[in-house]
Chain A
Amino acid sequence: MVKIIYVEHNGARHEVNVPEGENLMEGALQNNVPGIDGDCGGNAACATCHCYIPAEWEHATGTRSETEDAMIELADTARPNSRLACQITASAALDGLEVHMPATQH
């Protein structure tokens, strides 16, 4: 299990255990973490699992794919550290990761 801390826009923290190999959108949905919708089911096709990754974790989470980038770039709330949670896979290297969420998903 990998410890992931989902942080809502209002600061509310949800510390959950996500199985290794599971993506972080599923990790949120299966633990009923609010603020992640995952409408497309994990295809980087909708941007409703939009999140921000703190700079110190970027090396561990990797960077956006081309498809992911195209979806993120259409969001008003996009920032340089935006990712889609469904495109990040839980692994030991992510233990303790903080995933920050925008005020709303669109």
Chain B
Amino acid sequence: MATQLKDTRHTQSLPQGSVTWPLPPRMRPDLPDHDKATLESYLAAAPLEDVDIADPLWWETDTNHVYFKRLRAEAPVFFTSVNSNRHRGFWNVTRWNDVMAVDTNHQVFSSEAMLGGITLFDMDPDFIMPMFIAMDPPKHDVQRKAVNPIVSGQNLASYEELIRSRTAEVLDGLPRGEAFDWVDRVSIELTSRMLATLFGWPQERRRMLTYWSDVSTADPELPGNPGKEERQGILLGMLQEFTMLWNERVNAEPTGDLVSMLAHNPATRNMPPMEFMGNLVLLIVGGNDTTRNSISGGLYFLNQNPAEYAKLKANHGLVENMVSEIIRYQTPLAHMRRTALQDTVLGGQLIHKGDKVVMWYSSANRDDTVLDNPDAFIIDRPRARQHMAFGFGIHRCVGNRLAELQLKILWEEILKRFDHIEVLDEPERVPSAFVRGYKKMMVRIPA
């Protein structure tokens, strides 16, 4: 491997704090129009180093896969320096085995919030929200264990009936023979109800949880999204509301919801306010943005692949396997990011201490050196559980079993009711290199 080592003096992340707000303008290819085909041909031919794959453009248009396919083949561990004055520069890790190597090596690849955290763009340095996903051991371990029981197998069994009756209620309330937005009526509706239950939050205000989730992950630069200061204010408002719940529950008997669990566990009961806020954001986003987008994605994929939809209708027993395939194919969180704590070599590249390392789960899940025919959506794929979407290692998604349960019940209940659900238009996608999701997807259930 040594012969492949390159001197990467010019491909190192810029120091922390070198990027200041407002961010300088983004360099973007000068293309006559931004339609999908034009963007895909650009990504297929552009010099690799000219592309900033963190640009929301490539995600809103769902064109990024063209670039990742090239990276996996030509430069599987590759440094992005274009627009470094906005994101400090970062390593792209695109192959399954390299992502696995980073994800399972928390000794070298840190998740620490103070180093920037777990997303490609650093946490706002004057608004650091510590949360257990953005901590290293040992603190990570004890905080994760504080909430782990709520999503363990045995506890989930107690939720099953509730999830099923709610799913039935939401599906029974859908219109027939007219167009409606699946994201709003089903995906958001079901995930927000579940989240409210997990937090012991009032059901009638469940959409606030969706709102806070969206605000936490929204790009403050994009028109229509809250700006940086406004975002901070909104999240502080969330903290205030949850602090009231905390105060009610800290002196009461444990009630089994997340707020009560955090308030009673020795590892979390003395958290400073920003850390409480951070963990709330983590649990809200973790329980919301992810399952929501797999709910939308599943229906979209079945419409794109009529033979698979037919297979499912003919054999409802495929639901459980399909759920894993939906999650792989969607990969609702496209990446997790780490910070190198020391110089290290990955895929023949020399990574320096302090470098940002981005594990592209969405790319690893399409790695054809590990998965057969990964670009195809195959609901009876053998070993469908072996996908990368939940991450691996100590930060692996804690709510994965809940997500699978919600999706399984949804599809069982859909198949009981509807012969077909038709996706009417291309969905509108979230402009984010982190949340790989849908804003709107119009559908119709035949009358």
Interface residues of chain A, those whose CB is within 8 Å of chain B, are 29, 37-41, 43-46, 48, 67, 70-71, 73-77, 102-106
From A46, A67, A77, B396 is in contact (CB under 8 Å) with: A46
From B152, B383, B393, B394, A76 is in contact (CB under 8 Å) with: B152
B152–A74 CB distance below 8 A: no
Given the known inter-chain contacts A74-B144, A106-B401, please indicate yes or no for A45 contacting B154, CB distance below 8 A: no
A106–B386 CB distance below 8 A: no
Given the known inter-chain contacts A40-B386, A41-B386, A76-B148, please indicate yes or no for A104 contacting B394, CB distance below 8 A: no
Q: Residue B6 at the A interface, CB < 8 A?
A: no
Cα A77 to Cα B393 in complex, Å, equals 17
From B141, B152, B154, B392, A46 is in contact (CB under 8 Å) with: B392
Given the known inter-chain contacts A46-B392, A105-B153, please indicate yes or no for A73 contacting B104, CB distance below 8 A: no
Residue of B at shortest CB range from A47? B396
Q: Residue B341 at the A interface, CB < 8 A?
A: no
A-contacting residues, B362-386, CB 8 Å:
383, 385-386
Q: Can you list 29 A-B pairs, Cβ within 8 angstroms, ordered by A?
A: A39-B390, A40-B100, A40-B386, A40-B392, A41-B383, A41-B386, A43-B100, A43-B392, A44-B104, A45-B393, A45-B396, A70-B106, A70-B137, A70-B393, A70-B394, A71-B394, A73-B141, A74-B144, A74-B145, A75-B148, A76-B145, A76-B149, A77-B152, A104-B156, A104-B401, A106-B148, A106-B151, A106-B153, A106-B400
A39–B386 CB distance below 8 A: yes
Q: Residue B60 at the A interface, CB < 8 A?
A: no
Q: Residue B103 at the A interface, CB < 8 A?
A: yes
A74–B386 CB distance below 8 A: no
A78 CB, min distance to chain B CBs, angstroms: 10
By a CB distance below 8 angstroms, the chain A residues around B387 are: 39
By a CB distance below 8 angstroms, the chain A residues around B392 are: 40, 43, 45-46
B294 CB, min distance to chain A CBs, angstroms: 16
Cα A105 to Cα B151 in complex, Å, equals 11
Given the known inter-chain contacts A74-B148, A76-B148, please indicate yes or no for A104 contacting B393, CB distance below 8 A: no
From A39, A70, A103, B153 is in contact (CB under 8 Å) with: A103
A104–B104 CB distance below 8 A: no
By a CB distance below 8 angstroms, the chain A residues around B393 are: 45, 70-71
Residue of A at shortest CB range from B387? A39
Residue of A at shortest CB range from B151? A106
B419 CB, min distance to chain A CBs, angstroms: 32
B284 CB, min distance to chain A CBs, angstroms: 21
Given the known inter-chain contacts A39-B385, A103-B153, please indicate yes or no for A45 contacting B103, CB distance below 8 A: yes
A51 CB, min distance to chain B CBs, angstroms: 15
List the 6 closest pairs (A to B, CB-CB), nearest first.
A104-B153, A45-B392, A76-B152, A45-B104, A41-B386, A39-B385
By a CB distance below 8 angstroms, the chain B residues around A44 are: 104
Cα A28 to Cα B396 in complex, Å, equals 23
A43–B153 CB distance below 8 A: no
Residue of B at shortest CB range from A41? B386
A74–B100 CB distance below 8 A: no
Cα A40 to Cα B441 in complex, Å, equals 32
A9 CB, min distance to chain B CBs, angstroms: 10
By a CB distance below 8 angstroms, the chain A residues around B153 are: 102-106
Cα A76 to Cα B141 in complex, Å, equals 12
Cα A70 to Cα B149 in complex, Å, equals 17
Cα A80 to Cα B85 in complex, Å, equals 50
